[in-house]
Amino acid sequence: MPYFIIFPCGDRNKISVVEIIPALSYEINDYAVASRKEFHEVEEAVEYAKNLAKENNKEYVGDDGYLD
């Protein structure tokens, strides 16, 4: 599944990961995207998001614990 890095609820002080299935790829436009880089492994996406948050003085927010 593709994973993307977003600003949850448009809050640019926070960064999170969202999973968007290919059939609904148009939904990426519904998010405030922090990075257009697409990930295929959740662990890689989470690591990237955490590093991006740290480097930019943002808060990383996990999603229901399964992304941590």
| Nearest C-alpha neighbor of 1 from the set 56, 51, 67 | 67
What is the predicted pLDDT for the residue at 63? 62
What is the predicted pLDDT for the residue at 22? 77
d(CA 59, CA 56): 9
- Write out pLDDT tens, residues 2-34: 999 999 988 999 999 999 887 787 777 888 999
- Measure CA 67 to chain center: 10
